[in-house]
Amino acid sequence: MASSSPAASRAIERLWAAIEQRQAELIELVAELVRRPSELGQEQEAQALVADHMGSSGLTPDIRDLPPELLALENAGASGVSFAGRPNVAAILSGSGGGRSLILNGHIDVVSPEPVADWSYDPWSATIDGDRMYGRGAYDMKSGIALNLFLPRLLAELGIKLDGDLIVQSVIEEECTGNGALAASLRYPADAAIVTEPTGGDFTSAHVGVLWFRIAIAGKSWHAMQAYRGVNAILKARPVIDAL
């Protein structure tokens, strides 16, 4: 359906209404994801839950380890952890044809909860106190993952058919390298992508990135009594540091 058509507007209204009605179900999915620790190298259990949810929604999950050759790309980074057994998970809700494709992307990995002693609640408990959920990754970004998983299910249940493909991705290594998103973008090209990071409701069209590089500055060691005969690499590095 065309995005500006009356039918599309009605479909969006129905989706919002369904999300409101099933808010408790969505919150529980966030909690289930939080209860599965997914620090760097420990993403397997959480990704298995993602795949199970995709399958129960009638999608076919593509569970795929990142290829080792990805590290040869200039925009890849090295986390120091093997890709083996730490898959990206993706699925496609196929459109009826003729429409543009859209990716909903989120990362399953979270930063360390340390120091755990500073937490008021177990960081993996997804404790709800008032109108807040406390747990590592609840905000960044298992809430976004849950929404990405929930949307295809609602579309199917409401009988809303998209013209283009909707591609849902749950990737690893966002917190350190971006390798998961890099691998997913290479495997699943699309017309557009939305990363459902928490932004306070603001639309963000660009963000900071990462550059991986090394700078070698040659010096010449000499005895301190005759330092003038040597070359101080630290002093030579100053204009480089200033430029950075």
Q: Which residues are part of the catalytic machinery?
A: 109, 174
Give the per-residue SS3 of 57-93: CCCCCEEECCCHHHHHCCCCCCCCCCCCCCCEEEEEE
Taking alpha carbons only, the member of 24, 47, 25, 52 closest to residue 36 is: 47
Taking alpha carbons only, the member of 43, 169, 45 closest to residue 111 is: 43
CA-to-CA separations, 164 to 6, 9, 89, 144, 194, in angstroms, rounded: 18, 17, 20, 21, 15
